[in-house]
Each structure stands twice: as C-alpha cells, then as structure tokens.
Amino acid sequence: MDSIDQRVDQLTVDQKEATALLDSVNSQLGTLSSTVDSAKDVAQNPVGTELRSKLSDVETQLAEAEQKYTPAHPAVIALRQQRAALLAQIAAQPSAVVSQTTVAPNPLYQSLQSQASTYRARIQGDAGELRALQAQRRAYRPTLSSLPQQTIAFAAVQEDAKRAANVYDALQQKYSDALVAKSTAISDIIVVSPASADAAVRSPNLRTNLAIAVVVGVLLGLAVVYVLDLIDRRTTDRDFTALLGLPVIARIPVLTTTNPRMLPWVQSLTLEAFLHLCVTLKLRNKRPLKSLAILSARRGEGKSTVAYNLAKSLAALQPGILLVDADLRQPTLHEKAGCGNDVGLNDVLRGDAPLEEAVQHIAPGLDMLPSRGNEDNPVALLQVEFEALLEKARGNYGMVIVDAPALAAVSDALLIASEVDGSLIVVSADRGTERDTQRAIAQMGMIGVENILGVVVNRDASAAADHYGYFAKTNAALTAGPA
Ligand SMILES: Nc1ncnc2c1ncn2[C@@H]1O[C@H](COP(=O)(O)OP(=O)(O)O)[C@@H](O)[C@H]1O
Ligand SMILES: [Mg+2]
C-alpha cells in the first residue's frame, strides 16, 4: 500500500509537470506559423516578351518607312509614336514574374508539435496508470482493514493449536503411564473394604488454615519491616557520615508530645551517645571535655532540644552541669526549662551581674544561665567576655553545655565554637539543610576550629524503630518542658 501511494504521488507530480510543459509548448505554437515558403520559380514576364516582339516589328516597319519616306511623313511619325508607346509599356512591365511558390512545413513548429504530442501522451499515460493504481488501492482497502482481525484470529488459532498440542502431550503421557501401570499391575487385588464417602474429609479445616495464614502473615510482615529498617538505617547513617565527613554519634527520633511513651528516647539516645562520645574523646585526646557547644547550620534544627535534654541526662549521672543559653538574639532555652530570663548571659558578659547570681537551679545537679535576647551586638559582647565566662564556669562546674545560635545566620556561633573544648553539629533529617551544614563545617575549618566531635541527626525516622522496644514502657517525660 505504501509503494502504491508513493507511485501515485510520483505520477501526480509527473502529470503536473507534463501539463505545465504542454501549456508552454502550446503557447509557443500559437505564435508560430505552421509552414514556411521554401522556394520560388521565377520566369520571364510573357507580357514583356510580347511587347518586345511587337516593338521589333514596329522598329522594322519604321526602318523601312524611313528609307522610303521623310521623317515628317505621317507613316514615319505614327510608327515612331507606336514605338515610344511600346517602349513605355515595356518599361512599366517587370522583366520577370514569380511563376510558382513552394510551401514547406515549419520545422520548429513541427518539433514543438511533436513535443506537445509527447507530453500529451505522457499525461495520458500517467492518468491511465493513476486510474489503475487507484483501482488497485480500492481493491486493497477491504483487505487492509480486515488485517488486524486476521492477525488476532491467527493468534487465537495459534493459541488453540498450542493448547491442543499440550492436551495431546498430556494424553500421550497418561496413555504411556496407563500402559506401564497395566503391564506392572498386580492382578490379584481383593477389595477388603470398599471406599466409603463418609470416612473422607469433606472440607478443609478452616480454623487451622486461618491460624497458619495469620502466623505466616505476621512473620512475613516482621521480616519485611526488619529488612526495610535495616536498609533505611544504613542509608541515613552512611549518608550523613559521607555528606559531612563526620561520625554520626546520635540519632534522635521525631518526638510527639501526644505520645509521652516516646519521650524518653531522646534521653537514652543522647545520653548513650554522649557517654560514648566522652569515652571516645577521653581515649583519643587524653584531655577532659569540660565545655561543649551544640551547633547547627539553621534555626529550628533542634540545638536547644538536644542541649537541654543532654544537660539533664548528664546531670543525673554526674551532677555539676551548667547549661548556658548563648543565643543572645532569640533565646528559647528558658522556656524549655520553665524558668525566667530577667537576668542572664547578657548581664554576666557586661559585668552587670556575677555568674553565681545569674544562674538558676533547674534540676538536681543542673544549673542554667538563660539569655535575655534582643542583644544589639552579641558578637562584640561574646568576643570580649565569653572566654572569661567559660573559664569561670569551668571552675565552678564539672561540665558546661552551651546552646548556640545558628551558624549560617550570624558569627556568634563561630565565636562560641572557637572557645569550647568540643562541639556537636545537629542536623535535622527532614529539613534539607545538609548543604548548609557542609558549608558551616567548612567555614569552621577555615577559621581553624577543629573541635567538632560528630553529628547528631535529629528528627530521624529510622531512629524510632530502633529504640521503641527498649523505651516504650518508660513514662518519664523529657521533652520540651521542665522535668
Ligand atoms: N526530635 C524532635 N521531635 C519533635 N520536635 C522537635 C524535635 N527536635 C526539636 N523539635 C522542636 O522543634 C522546634 C525547634 O527546636 P529547637 O531545639 O528550639 O531548635 P534550635 O534550637 O536549633 O533552633 C522546637 O519546637 C522543638 O520542640
Ligand atoms: Mg535554640
């Protein structure tokens, strides 16, 4: 069908071309004459000849008359006049006339005509072929339109044939089995007790099957959950370790206040992680960790939550902890601790209040130095006095935990990080702040702060699955409220 269409297109083009050529030839033919005068036969003018013979007669008579008569004789005068008249007539006659014209056909006209007929023949030929092709196309159309049905029918027939072949094979197999059975059959079987339908099990045992289904379903479900959890956990850890080039030392689940049973997780997790951290640090550095900053690239990643819970957990183990809210712009720690912030870090740094008076006792073994916030120039204040404050706090307490502002926003946090013995970077797993965290870590490296101990992944979905079993029964509240 495609080739027919193609040919039809070719012919249509050819026909158009021939028609155009024919038109041009026809217009040329219209301007030409069909014949040309090829030759002319020229003969003596017979009238002239006759006049000349008359003239010679008259001249002969005149000569005779002149010999006989005087020039004034009337006969001589008459003859002279006759001769003059004849001469005049002869002069008026053409000496020769065209006796015959041969007309020949115009060769250019003929060639154009032959071209025209060639074109006409071409047009007719094309038209003929076009008609034939169109007829062919009409003849093919029903066949073509029935092709899909034919293909389907053919496939169905093939399928039937295959099925029949399978049935045949199966029957063949059965037949050969029967032959074997027949040849090996024990012929002398005696029926002792005929089979009875009553003794047979009438239906499958629904209860047993249900029980099996439930057990298998539960086991399968647990297996899937376990595998998914393994994969998820590995991805999270590996991702942050690879992304930030730091060890992930704690993973904190999303805490929901509506489910208090989940709250102790953060305590156990951070405490466990922190103890692990302390041991690691001790083994590695042989240097006591007396001050620790909690950092993050952005606000809301969980610095204050981690700092508060970490301080509380640690105080329970090893009293003598000071928690410092070093966010001099928008502090929140006093809200978590449920205490006031009328006097705070701002006043101590300025020298307006001594450290001992500014701190508040918020839990056994745990004091807190809140922040008043709205500080105009925290960098200047921290730069000058923070080191001295830390020095003093280290003397009074076993450990100082500093809740810092976000690294990406201001340079306060960089200053704080540069003064403490170690820092932790909190990354919220659901905020997409990995790049910011990378940048913040790089920035710390650039100014020579090399004390990052590791990463705390906050709001980590995979951490929940891990610890649910261990801490589900504990009811001690630990979240963002006072204990
Ligand atoms: N793991 C968590 N699960 C649920 N809520 C959290 C979690 N960590 C932090 N939050 C909440 O997110 C908000 C911001 O946390 P916060 O610790 O104040 O962040 P940052 O100090 O880094 O700005 C607070 O309301 C806090 O209660
Ligand atoms: Mg905070």
How far is Cα 461 from Cα 256, in angstroms, rounded to an integer? 12
- Residue 39 inside a domain? The answer is yes
Ligand nearest to the CA of 373: 2
**249 near 424, Cβ under 8 Å?**
yes
Residue 124 sits in the same domain as residue 266: no
Q: Which of 305, 306, 309, 426 to mutate to test the pocket of ligand 1 (most atoms within 8 A of CB)?
A: 305
**Do 445 and 345 share a domain, yes or no?**
yes
List for the chain the helix, strand, coil content (%; round to 5): 60, 15, 25
CATH code, domain with 287: 3.40.50.300
Q: Is residue 99 part of a domain?
A: yes
Question: How many domains does the chain divide into?
Answer: 2
Could you tell me if the CB of 459 is within 6 A of ligand 1?
yes
Same domain, 132 and 262: no
Structural domain includes residue 423: yes
The DSSP H or E segment spanning 249 is strand 248-251
Per residue of the chain (483 residues), give pLDDT as tens: 778 888 888 888 888 888 888 888 888 888 877 777 665 556 677 787 888 888 899 888 888 888 888 888 888 888 888 888 888 888 887 766 656 666 777 888 888 888 888 889 989 999 999 999 988 888 888 877 777 788 888 888 898 889 888 888 888 888 888 887 776 654 445 556 666 655 555 566 888 888 888 888 888 888 887 777 665 554 455 588 888 989 888 888 776 655 545 456 555 666 676 677 666 666 665 667 899 999 999 999 999 999 998 898 888 888 999 999 999 999 999 999 999 999 999 999 999 999 999 999 999 999 999 999 888 889 999 988 999 999 999 999 999 999 999 998 788 999 999 999 999 999 999 888 899 999 999 999 999 999 998 998 888 877 655 555 444 433 334 444 443
Of the residues 101, 128, 143, which one is the last residue of a structural domain? 143
Q: Is residue 304, in this structure, part of any structural domain at all? A: yes
134 and 256 belong to one structural domain: no
Ligand 1 atom at shortest distance from the alpha carbon of 308: 17
Report CA-CA distances (Å) from 109 to 17, 37, 38, 104, 407.
21, 14, 15, 11, 100
Domain endpoint, select from 80, 115, 143 = 143
Hey, whose CA ends up nearest to atom 27 of ligand 1?
A: 480
Exposed, middle or buried, 319 (CB in 10 Å: 0-12/13-18/19+)? middle
Q: Is residue 199 part of a domain?
A: no
257 and 377 both lie in a single domain? yes
Judgement on whether residues 381 and 254 belong to the same structural domain of the protein: yes
Answer whether 270 contacts ligand 1 (Cβ < 6 A): no
Domain boundary (86, 114, 143) is at 143
- Taking the CA of residue 306 as reference, the ligand 1 atom at the shortest distance is 17
Q: Is residue 180 part of a domain?
A: no
- The answer on 454 and 326 residing in a single domain is yes
Is there a domain that residue 179 lies in?
no
Tell me: do 135 and 239 sit in the same domain: no
Domain containing residue 40? 2-143
Nearest-CA residue for atom 8 of ligand 1: 302
User: Does the C-beta of 389 come closer than 6 Å to ligand 1?
Assistant: no
Please work out whether the CB of residue 254 comes within 6 Å of at least one atom of ligand 1.
Answer: yes
Same-domain pairing of 277 and 378:
yes
| Ligand 1 touching residue 300 (CB < 6 A) | yes
CB-ligand 1 contact for 461 (6 Å cutoff) = no
> Looking at ligand 1, which atom is closest to the CA of residue 459?
1
334: Cβ below 6 Å to ligand 1? no
* Shared-domain flag, residues 344 and 467: yes
Cα(478) to centroid(ligand 1), Å: 13
Q: Does residue 240 sit within a domain?
A: yes
pTM of the entire predicted model: 0.52
The CA angle 366-367-372, to the nearest 5 degrees, is 140
Kindly state if the Cβ of 255 falls inside 6 Å of ligand 1. Answer: yes
453 in the same domain as 337: yes
